[in-house]
Every structure is written in structure tokens, then in C-alpha cells.
Amino acid sequence: MKVLVVEDEPLTAFVLKDELENAGHEVIGPVAELGDALLLARRHRPDLALLEIELEGGFAGLDLARELTRLDIPCVYATAQSTLARANSGCAIGYLAKPFNPTGLAEIVRAIEQVVAGKFPTALLVPPSLEFFGRLS
């Protein structure tokens, strides 16, 4: 799976990239700015975007999620801003609550893959830190 990582905290970005690549995913980025993320998304057409809501000193991640939704790129917020994530659920399929255990990221992405494919993820794959928005079928 091609995953666009949008994260402005360098250590978190490195850990996300490392864990995703170790699980066999192709990582696009990481990037920390809206413009860079859009450029990479248009160029590489990722299967999924993991994005932080708080970027560029504001909530640019929400603007990015709206743009990626228009490009039919599914988004999952990776953020500590749970209230804001839920209030903006129309542009994402769910959110991953920070802090989360990075060693479980492979299972998290497998659960997200199932949802993107229109399947209900098996209960064992959905950790408590991952919340899906809307109804899953």
C-alpha cells in the first residue's frame, strides 16, 4: 500500500516511515506542509494518507483532508485532537489517537486497508487507538 505521511514532528514522522516501510508499505513523504503534501499526493496517488491535523501553526491538516477527499484519496487523521477529528469526520475514514504504539502500526494499516476495500476489519486488527467514522459494512 502507498501511504502518504503528513506529520510535522520529525521524530514521529521518522517512526511512522520506518514502521510502515518495515511492514512492506511504500511511504510517500513524510512531509510537514500542506503544499508539499498536495504535490506528492497528485504525483504519486497514494492509497492512503495518514495526517496530523495541526500543521503549519494551525489546522492545515483539515484543509489537506478536504483536498485529498476531492482526489479520492482516503485519509486517516493521526492526531491527539480527537474532538476536532470527530467534528471533521466527513473528510476522513477515521482517526488514530496519539500517542499510539508504533509497533502496532502494521496491524492498524491492515485494518484501514480492509475498510478502504469496503470490508469490516476483523476485531483483532482494530486497536483501541483507532476509531472509524460512519458505518462499516
83-118 per-position pLDDT tens digit: 999 999 999 999 999 988 887 888 888 888 888 888
Q: How confident is the model at residue 69 (pLDDT cuts 50, 70, 90)?
A: very high
Residues facing 76 on adjacent strands = 50, 94
pLDDT at 124: 57
Instruction: Determine the Cα–Cα distance for residues 80 and 12; give it in Å rounded to an integer.
Output: 13
Burial level of 103, CB count in 10 A (0-12/13-18/19+)?
exposed
Burial level of 96, CB count in 10 A (0-12/13-18/19+)?
buried
Q: Please, which residues have CB within 8 angstroms of residue 89's CB and are 6 or more apart in sequence?
A: 133, 134
Domains within the chain, CATH numbers bracketed: 2-132 (3.40.50.2300)
Instruction: Determine the Cα–Cα distance for residues 29 and 32; give it in Å rounded to an integer.
Output: 9
Residues facing 27 on adjacent strands = 3
